[in-house]
Amino acid sequence: MLKDKVAVVTGGSRGLGKAIALKLAENGANVAVVYAGNELAANETCEQISQYSVKAKAYRCDVSDFEATKELTAQVIADFGGIDILVNNAGIVRDGLILSMKEQDFDAVMNTNLKGAFHMIKHCYSHFMKKRSGKIINITSVSGMMGNAGQANYSSAKAGLIGLTKTVAKELAGRGVTCNAIAPGFIATDMTDKLSDKVKESALAAIPLKRMGTPEDVANLAVFLAGEQSNYITGEVIKVDGGLYM
């Protein structure tokens, strides 16, 4: 379905990003795996991608750094010959109640989760315009739609990502480029594994489907949004949350 397409996945070395990278590769896409610090995990992801007989390469980059993302984008285009799909998945958490949240923790989450996506879109913008095609997929969260106590920074960044998604969709629609967002709920990843049993039980009780989602649940939607079947869908925020937020 995505044969010969080139996908860039930020935060692609583990969790949701890894699942998305693998699923895109399974469907024929060549993948640039962008990671922040875990080189071993990124290389392992690339090795797993290679089983699908597509090209994969890992790139270390702090997406909160404007110049670094500019260099990254140029390098990927040079290495792969272009970019067709951009998945903005990179994200961090620095949870805490506003009363105790440090300014640097708020800024760090905003700079990575929201500004990082802006940087990547900014540097791919003219490339997509010239190609008159492109698929941008932003990984937001239901926390950005409903809020979540103890996550003022994370929820704000993810809410901002929704606004960015809709704006980019309007700006690039005339060039045949789509931009959509996926809003996962509670997904079984390293991040959710760190939650206490009490928090997990409370979460499951609030989910109508009575289970956490899997990274593959999110990855399947990402593949759809990256393919031609979604050509007439743009500016949308699609929840993958088991009915948590309706």
What's the CATH code of the domain at 189?
3.40.50.720
pLDDT above 80 for 14: yes
Sign of the dihedral defined by the CA atoms of residues 161, 169, 126, 184, in that order: positive
Q: Which helix (H) or strand (E) holds 69?
A: helix 66-80
**Residue 199 confidence (pLDDT):** 81
Do the domain assignments include residue 245? no
Whether residue 109 is contained in a domain is answered as yes
Q: Percentage of residues in the chain with pLDDT exceeding 70?
A: 100
Q: Is the pLDDT of residue 230 over 90?
A: yes
The answer to whether position 90 is within a domain reads yes
- Tell me: the pLDDT tens digits for 125-136? 999 999 999 999
**With the C-alpha atoms ordered 33, 38, 40, 45, is the resulting torsion angle positive or negative?**
negative
Instruction: Report the SS3 class of residue 149.
Output: coil
- Confidence class for position 58, pLDDT limits 50, 70, 90: very high
pLDDT value at position 203?
A: 86
> How many other C-beta atoms lie within 10 A of the C-beta of residue 69?
25
Please, are residues 55 and 128 in contact by the beta-carbon 8 Å criterion? no
How big is the CA angle at 179 (ends 176 and 181), to the nearest 5 degrees? Answer: 160
Per the domain annotation, does 1 fall within a domain? Answer: no
- Which one from 35, 125, 154, 245 is the annotated catalytic residue? 154
Is residue 15 a part of any domain in this protein? Answer: yes
Q: Does 34 reside within a domain?
A: yes
Contact 234, 173 (CB under 8 A): yes
3-state DSSP assignment of residue 96: strand
Asked whether the predicted pLDDT for residue 192 surpasses 80, the reply is no
| Rounded mean pLDDT, 156-183 | 98
> Residue 96 domain-assigned?
yes
d(CA 150, CA 191): 15
Calculate mean pLDDT across residues 34-52.
96
- Which residue is associated with the tokens 């941008």? 136
Whether pLDDT at 217 is above 80: yes
Q: What is the pLDDT of residue 194?
A: 72
Distance CA 138, CA 160 (A): 11
pLDDT of residue 202: 86
Phi, psi of 31 (to 5 degrees): -130, 130
Residue 170 lies in a domain: yes
More confident residue, 198 or 228: 228
63/13 Cα distance (integer angstroms): 14
CB-based contact 182:241 (threshold 8 Å): no
Tokens 């045949």 belong to 176
Tally of domains within the chain: 1
Mean pLDDT, rounded, for 8-27: 97
35 is catalytic: no
Domain coverage including residue 196: 6-240
pLDDT of residue 31: 98
